[in-house]
Amino acid sequence: MIISYFIITFRPHMALDGKTPTEKADICLDLGEDKIESLIKIASSMLEYKDSKNLSN
């Protein structure tokens, strides 16, 4: 499982017109206080769902 650093980076960037990478990509995740743990839980539940449906990639 690969979790992108950019999803949990919440500092605005000049090259992105003062937006964070997640804002620029229009990604809305309610990760709460512990962003890494929440992201791992979301990714794990997606993998479990995929496995239960016998889906590949």
Question: What is the per-residue pLDDT across 4-56, written as a single tens digit (0 to 9) for each?
Answer: 665 666 678 888 888 887 788 887 777 788 878 888 888 888 877 777 877 66
As a residue count, the chain comes to 57
Q: Is the pLDDT of residue 1 over 60?
A: no
Q: Would you state the pLDDT for residue 52? A: 80
Say what the pLDDT of residue 3 is. 63
Instruction: Fill in the DSSP letter of residue 16.
Output: G
Is residue 22, in this structure, part of any structural domain at all? no
Query: What separation in angstroms does the CA of 14 have from each of 11, 18, 33, 49?
Result: 10, 5, 25, 38
Q: Two tokens at 54?
A: 């016998």
Q: Is residue 7 part of a domain?
A: no
For residues 17, 22, 25 and 27, what is the CA-based torsion angle, rounded to 10 degrees?
-140
Is residue 5 one of the residues assigned to a domain?
Answer: no
3 or 12: which carries more pLDDT confidence? 12
Domains: count for the chain: 1
The range of the structural domain enclosing residue 45 comes to 29-57
* Burial of residue 51 (number of CB atoms within 10 Å: 0-12, 13-18, 19+): exposed
